[in-house]
Amino acid sequence: MTSSPSDVAKIDVVVLAAGKGTRMYSTKPKVLHTIGGKPMAQHVIDAAKRLGDVALHVVVGHQADLVSSSLQCAESFVEQREQLGTGHAVAQVLPILREDAITLILYGDVPLIQTQTLERLVAGCTAQSMTLLTVTLDNPQGYGRICRNTDNEVTSIVEQKDADPEQLLINEVNTGIMCIQQSCLAAWLPLLSNSNAQNEYYLTDVVAMAVAQGIGVTSVDAPSPEEVEGVNNKLQLGALERCYQRRLADALMLAGTTLADPARVDIRGELSVGQDVFIDVNTVFSGNVTLGDNVSIGSNCVVSNSSIGDNTELLANCVVDQATLANDCIIGPFARLRPGSTFAQKSKVGNFVEVKNSSFGEGSKANHLAYVGDAQVGAGSNIGAGTITCNYDGANKHKTRLGKNVFIGSNSTLVAPLDIADNGFVAAGSTIVKTVLADSLAVARGRQKNIEGWTRPSKKS
């Protein structure tokens, strides 16, 4: 059995998340912009947490309180009151780093970093060497270049604005992600200088310090440029969103899910999928969603925080939010299931039906054009087109209870609180305000009157 990095070393993780993100043109801090429905910095935190028992610290600055309250699973948030560079940011957290730990430095705007890559980085960090994550780009514009000697050993990192023409030709660049002994950081950070084009304290300058003191610098290649790409504007945010979604879509398909078009499925949370599931185009899953075996999701559906049982079919253009569907249900098309709605097996909700905080018994159905709110619908009951439950009196919500095998005729109004017992039958066009007993027919219509010789109104000139 192999050991994880956390079994052989104490790991302190530092996530730099202090920047404003001016080029995002947003009042929201850059690291809180989302990928897959989750803040970018949270993706980084989650990837680091999967390393094992790590101590995680986030350096915050711009809108520090908002960033701190929006992120989860960090041991501490340390404020960088002035943004004076990456070296200065790490220095703010130095006093709380453990002396016998290695420090993994990550960035809150690099959301696609993977735990497997971090494991490689941590594994190479020893008392005699630090590790540096690098990537080779066709166009390295804007990145710090990795400089090596004739033995191919890393000697320094030169930032774009400080590089000479020869260095600008280098395609291997710095990602900013590194792993280093705390004792080395404690010795080197106070020696950083801001004598550069940006007047900032570059963390990357510790590489040259390591070389000068005989500490090896081991580079680890990133598996792909997308994994280490940072976000500075909405264009880059959108590009990484597509990379992230394609990664999830590929994983679904490799696990057996059929996607009509992997480029047109968005997952903004956690999606658990059974066998032989089909998902059509333009579908969105958010929060925690579970799909059972042989589930079919039609085009243009939005499913949030819901569970859908085996063999259930969600037809096109449905919205399902915080609902639970058992096996063999049919929903839609154009149905809306709101929070608190539950459906027993073989129940059916058709087109233009809205259900809120209601339960449908086995085999019950509302096939079209109905509103069912705060209701309990018994097994085998049928709700006709145009039916509404009047559950709200302007101040309070009230319950409608339908027994087993109840039939509600089309265009009926059920005024809650109301009980209709087993086998009750409501005639079409009725407004029901009183209890309907078992095996009874309820008719509540105004008397029809026909007027002969009536002249239809005409428009006035």
**Tens digit of pLDDT for each residue in 364-395?**
999 999 999 999 999 999 999 999 999 999 99
Domain locations in the chain as residue ranges:
9-228, 234-442
CA neighbor of 267 nearest in space, from 295, 241, 293: 241
Q: Which residues pair with 392 in a beta bridge?
A: 397
Mean pLDDT (the chain) is: 95
Determine the angle formed by the axes of helices 40-49 and 115-123, rounding to 10 degrees: 50
pLDDT tier for residue 2 given thresholds of 50, 70 and 90 = very low
Tokens of 395: 């101040």
Residue pair 372/357 in contact by the 8 Å Cβ criterion: no
Domain 234-442 in CATH 2.160.10.10? The answer is yes
Tell me whether the omega of the peptide bond preceding residue 417 falls within 30 degrees of 0, making it cis.
Answer: yes
Q: Give me the percent of the chain exceeding a pLDDT of 90.
A: 88
* Structure tokens given for 34: 């989302």
Cβ contact 354:332 at 8 Å: no
pLDDT, residue 8, reads: 54
Please check the confidence at residue 7 and state whether its pLDDT lies above 80: no
Q: Does 5 score more than 80 pLDDT?
A: no
pLDDT at 151 over 80: yes
Domain 9-228 matching CATH 3.40.190.10: the answer reads no
Confidence at residue 448, expressed as pLDDT on a 0 to 100 scale: 86
Confidence class of residue 197 from pLDDT cuts 50, 70 and 90? confident
Q: Which residues pair with 219 in a beta bridge?
A: 132
Does 6 score more than 70 pLDDT? no
Residue 368 annotated to the active site: yes
pTM of the model: 0.90
Nearest one of 365, 388, 392 to 378, comparing CA atoms = 365
pLDDT tens per residue, range 387-400: 999 999 999 999 99
For 123, the enclosing helix (H) or strand (E) is: helix 115-123
> pLDDT band for position 404 (50/70/90)?
very high
Percentage of the chain exceeding pLDDT 70? 98
pLDDT of 459 strictly over 90: no
Query: Are both 9-228 and 234-442 of the same fold?
Result: no
284-304 mean pLDDT: 98
Q: Using the predicted structure, report yes or no on whether residue 209 has a pLDDT greater than 70.
A: yes
Write out the DSSP string of 184-218.
HHHHHGGG----STT----GGGHHHHHHHTT-EEE
Considering the candidates 43, 88, 368, 398, report the single residue annotated as catalytic: 368
Pairing relation of β-strands 388-390 and 375-377? Answer: unpaired
Residue 223: the pLDDT is 94
> What confidence category does residue 454 fall into, taking pLDDT thresholds of 50, 70 and 90?
confident
Tokens at 312, concatenated: 């259930």
79-101 pLDDT per residue, tens: 999 989 999 999 999 999 999 99
